[in-house]
Each structure stands twice: as C-alpha cells, then as structure tokens.
Amino acid sequence: MKFVKLSQTNDAMPTLGLGTWQAEPSVVKSTVYAALELGYRHIDTAFNYNNEEAIGSAITKWIDDGRGTRSELFITTKLPHIANRASDVEKFLNLQLKRLQMTYVDLYLIHVPFGFHCDPETLTPKVNEEGNYELDMDTDHVATWKKLEECQKSGLIRNIGLSNFNEEQIEKIVKHATFKPQVLQVELHAYFQQIELRKFCEKHNIILTAYAPLGSPGAKNHFVTKYKYSPSTFPDLLSLPDVTTLAKKYGKTPAQILLHFLVRQNIVVIPKSTNLERLKENMDFYDFELTTDEMDTLIRLDKGENGRIFNFLFWKGVEFHPEYPFESVKQKLL
Ligand SMILES: NC(=O)C1=CN([C@@H]2O[C@H](COP(=O)(O)OP(=O)(O)OC[C@H]3O[C@@H](n4cnc5c(N)ncnc54)[C@H](OP(=O)(O)O)[C@@H]3O)[C@@H](O)[C@H]2O)C=CC1
Ligand SMILES: O=C1CO[C@H](CO)[C@@H](O)[C@@H]1O
C-alpha cells in the first residue's frame, strides 16, 4: 500500500480506499470486514449512501475481534446536500459518528456545493409541487467551512475537504480558511482526467481523490433504470483496447491498469466492489510499472468535459442553484 501525506496535519492517506456507493447495508458489513482482512485501510462512505451504520458495525467488530485498531484506519464520510449549511453541520456530523460508532472521522467532505431543503422528520430532501427537490438558495460555503473548522478543532474530524466543487468555489474557501481544504474528491478516470483541476489542486496542496475510477460501471444501471439516462452515455473503460492490451502485456486486469494509471499520478482511488474476488483484484496494482509511453497512451484517452458521467442533473432543476458547479454542463443546456 502507498500513502500520500496531507499537507496540514501530515496524516497519511492510503492511495487506495474502498468505495461504498450502491453497497447495500445488508451486504456492506461483510464486504467491509473482508476488505479490512485483505488489507484495505481506507473506507469512503457518505450520509447519502445509507450504509454508515453497517460500515460502523463492521469496523467495530473488526476492532473488537482484535484484528486491528481504529488508528490504523482512514475513514471518510460526507456532509450531505440536505445539510449544506452551517447550522446543520454539528447535528449531521454527530449523527454520522453515532452511526459509524466512532469518536472521529479522518476526513469529512462537503459532498456537493449546492444545497437542498431538508425534511426534518425523514432527513430527506423536501419535495415541491412538481415533485422536484426544493433548492436551498442560501448555501454559504464559507460559513459551512468555518463550522467544519470548529469540528476539526474539537477533534471530531481530523481533516476537512470538498467534493464536486469547482476552482472558483474552492478558491473562495481557501481565501477565508484558517484550515485549508486537504482533499478534493471528484469524478476522475481515463475518459475524464480533470487536467486543469489537477494543476489547480497541486498549486494549493490539495490531494485529489478519484471517484468512479473504473468509469462507474454500476452507475449505468442506476442512472438508466432510475433516472432514464441513455445507456449510450456511459463509458466502458474496462473494454477499451488500449487498456486491455496493457492488461495482457503485464498479466493484469483492465481494472488494475486503470487504477495503477491514476495512483502513479499521485491520485487517490476509491473503487467500489462488494465482490470478494474484485476486492482482491482492486488492491493488486502496485507491483508493475507502465512505461512513460504507455502512460501517455492512457493520457490520450481523455475526453475532457465529454467524459463526465456525474452531472447531478438527475436532481431536476439543480442547475438553477447558484452554486451548481459545472458551468460547461449548464452551457450545454442553454
Ligand atoms: N463524491 C461523490 O459525489 C461521489 C463519490 N463516489 C465514491 O467513489 C466510489 C467509487 O465510484 P463508483 O461510482 O462506485 O464507481 P467505480 O468506478 O468504483 O466502479 C464500481 C463498479 O465497478 C464494478 N467493479 C469493481 N471492481 C471491478 C473490477 N475489478 N472489474 C470489473 N468491475 C468492477 C463494481 O461492481 P461489483 O461491486 O459487483 O464488483 C461497481 O459496479 C463510490 O463507491 C463512492 O464511495 C462515487 C460517486 C460520486
Ligand atoms: O456520491 C454520490 C454517488 O452518486 C449519487 C447519485 O445518486 C450522488 O448522490 C453522489 O454524489
């Protein structure tokens, strides 16, 4: 396992984490326990994934079984879109810590830059007459960030960061922050390499975590059936000839090539799997080295903005939120 150092706390963040979106609570408990046994030390979850409780039980059991200690682990969770306001940070963080059975998380991210009104009974977004989520137009990133800083100071969070924010939004937070964002988690894979954003993060000492590092094969099913997206908009990175050729050459799988490609560039990856064989496979990509020419071949797969899968437009009307982050997605809608 390789680690990256977070600039302000000097914490070591494992370059491989286990993604858990779409990992159902009924299976994720055994998945997380198995992953820890295999050597995973970094788990990525979120309030929205509805599985923090199951993940917490798996980790608690693993520690109680004497298999390892809390301090060996790097646990990330996220402040949800329904709580994207200073007054909700402590309430949600405390609830999430309770679900996770932890006294602190290693990394807490603001999940998305936009906010929705919350139904306090169900802790789900309020829905308007047209059946759309009600946007909270008053989202104030700096105020929310200051609250995260307080929670970091009081020891509930070790590191704070952002997810799905654009450069301008990050810059504003950096300008007002006492404790700067340590990590930015965004969609990042061979078809969507985020070249400009990566330069920006390097300049600000922000570590990038790649979500959907395999091109999120599971999102296709989810978005097509739940949100009626067209199946043709989803990439199949695992079958690309440039990837499968390299896999053959090194005796590796396409997934291992795609993960190696990102980690080689100092990017943290969080592939999701609930399948034991694939959990093992997704750890085993550190023992070979693509040549510079081979890295260049994969770099050339980048489709820029056309490679984006996650635009959040499945939340109808979200592009009208003042903090909707993806200007080029908005432009295309005009
Ligand atoms: N901050 C944010 O807004 C977001 C964060 N995330 C985070 O990033 C994580 C990763 O992204 P995700 O969207 O899950 O996409 P990934 O690119 O990690 O792909 C996961 C999918 O690929 C399959 N898979 C896993 N390993 C392999 C393999 N070796 N070969 C073939 N198929 C494989 C999984 O199925 P199976 O389980 O059956 O193996 C699953 O369907 C999420 O789980 C979540 O933690 C994701 C989206 C947005
Ligand atoms: O993390 C995430 C996984 O994908 C979801 C889509 O339903 C988003 O909620 C979210 O950003």
Binding site for substrate, residues?
111
Q: Which domain holds residue 189?
A: 3-333
pLDDT of residue 33: 98
pLDDT digits (tens, 9 = 90+) for 82-127: 999 999 999 999 999 999 999 999 999 999 999 999 999 999 999 9
pLDDT averaged over the chain? Answer: 97
Is the pLDDT confidence value at 53 over 90?
Answer: yes
CA distance linking residue 113 with residue 99, whole number of Å: 24
Q: 101-115 as b/e, with b when 16 or more CB fall inside 10 Å?
A: bbebbbbbbbbbbbb
Distance from residue 247's CA to the centre of ligand 1 (Å)? 19
Give the atom of ligand 1 at the shortest distance from the alpha carbon of 111. 1
Which of these, 265, 242, 243, lies nearest to 252 by C-alpha position? 243
Structure tokens at 57: 């039980």
Domain count, the chain: 1
Ligand 1 near 77 CB (within 6 A): no
CA distance linking residue 269 with residue 285, whole number of Å: 11
Ligand 2 near 34 CB (within 6 A): no
CA distance linking residue 120 with residue 124, whole number of Å: 8
Place of tokens 């059975």: 101
Ligand 2 near 265 CB (within 6 A): no
Is the pLDDT confidence value at 131 over 90?
Answer: no
Give the atom of ligand 1 at the shortest distance from the alpha carbon of 209. 8
**Residue 81: CATH number of its domain:** 3.20.20.100
Please state the ipTM of this predicted complex.
Answer: 0.99
Could you say which ligand is closest to the alpha carbon of residue 161? 1
Ligand 2 near 109 CB (within 6 A): no
Q: Which residues lie closer than 8 Å to 171 by C-beta, 6 or more apart?
A: none
